[in-house]
Amino acid sequence: MAGNNYQPYTRRQTMIRKDFEIYRYRSSYLNEVELHHHDFYEVYLLLRGEVAYTVENHIYNMRPGDLMLVSPLELHQARIKPDGDAYERIVLWIDRGYLENLSSPRTSLTRCFDTTVPGHTNLLRLPGTQSAEIRRVLERLRELHSSTAYGNDLLAQCSLMELMVGLNRGAADRSMEKSLSADTSSDQVVDAVLSYINAHYSEPLTLDALAERFFISKYHLLRKFESQVGTTVHRYILQKRLLNAKQLLAGGVAPSEACAYCGFGDYANFYRAFRSEYGVTPRQYVQSTRGDG
């Protein structure tokens, strides 16, 4: 059966296509990707293995059959538990503009990713019949996407729309909240620190100042933060600044202005950090977004 085929795993976190990409991976070794973000929507279905999935300040303990929905602005990481079992998943990446264009005035296909919707959760744990149907559609989508047979591009688009309608309906069902609460954790101190960073990333921020503001020792803040978020305070601040700078650049803001607005001390620091994170300079990124248009 075509659905049992796996693709070679890659750490690439950028899309090649301009619509969507779908992969099925199986790994018998630990191959974590560090906390990161990307410019597209991600749907992640865990098939096998034990995974604690971090999205911003939440840790979701996943079960096989669970789905994660991650928006472009969310820092996230799948932490695989090395229990010797194979780690299997299906990963779907969808271009932002493409999915928005598939929506209609009556039906937004991106709503399930919207963190401002009351009761929003990244983790979907659907009832058995719904879960099986979502997996069937994902497998069908993958087969269509990899085929060049006549009409399969249109059928793949139809399958993607069917999938997104199903995910949005599932995300809107509040009856599953109780079953998810036991597998979702956060920390009040870390929540407060993250909220402060997100509101003040354009200002000077240091570990010392944050520890003093929230009445906690630097040691305990570092330990709590790394445990909950999966990275250091310094690294998180840098990634938030870069993420927001990238959004500004894509929106037409000049690199020098994005640098100043996002809290970088000088342009040289911004240039080095941006190039190290994304593999291109700020100006090269601006040129690539104009080329995409």
At 175, list the tokens.
């009856």
pLDDT 10s digits, 94-130: 999 999 999 999 999 999 999 889 888 999 999 999 9
Residues 15 and 134 in one domain: yes
Residues 87 and 70 in one domain: yes
- Any idea what the CATH number is for the domain that residue 103 is in? 2.60.120.280
204: left (phi over 0), alpha (psi -120 to 50) or beta: beta
Q: Tell me the three state secondary structure of residue 147.
A: coil
**Which of 184, 203, 234 corresponds to the end of one domain?**
184
Residues 178 and 196 in one domain: no
Residues 193 and 64 in one domain: no
Residues 158 and 197 in one domain: no
| DSSP secondary structure of 214-263 | TT--HHHHHHHHHHHHSS-HHHHHHHHHHHHHHHHHHTT--HHHHHHHTT
Least confident of 175-179, 259-263, 265-269: 175-179
- Any idea what the CATH number is for the domain that residue 267 is in? 1.10.10.60
Q: Would you place residue 30 in the very low, low, confident or very high pLDDT band (cuts 50, 70, 90)?
A: low
Residues 161 and 69 in one domain: yes
Q: How many domains does the chain have?
A: 2
Give the helix/strand (H/E) hosting 21. strand 20-27
Residues 79 and 92 in one domain: yes
Residues 22 and 65 in one domain: yes
Q: Would you place residue 151 in the very low, low, confident or very high pLDDT band (cuts 50, 70, 90)?
A: very high
pLDDT of residue 9: 74
pLDDT of residue 154: 97
pLDDT of residue 137: 97
Residues 94 and 238 in one domain: no
pLDDT of residue 139: 95
Residues 144 and 219 in one domain: no
**Which of 184, 208, 224 corresponds to the end of one domain?**
184
Domain that holds residue 11: 2-184
Question: Cα(first)–Cα(last) distance of the chain, in Å?
Answer: 39
pLDDT 10s digits, 191-211: 899 989 989 999 999 999 999
**Residue 4 pLDDT greater than 60, yes or no:** no
Residues 131 and 34 in one domain: yes
Question: What is the reported pTM?
Answer: 0.82
**Which of 131, 152, 184 corresponds to the end of one domain?**
184
In terms of pLDDT, which residue wins out, 231 or 83?
231
Residues 65 and 171 in one domain: yes
CA dist., res. 249 & res. 171, Å (int): 31
What average pLDDT does this structure show over 25-43?
A: 82
- Give the number of other CB atoms < 10 A from CB of residue 24: 18
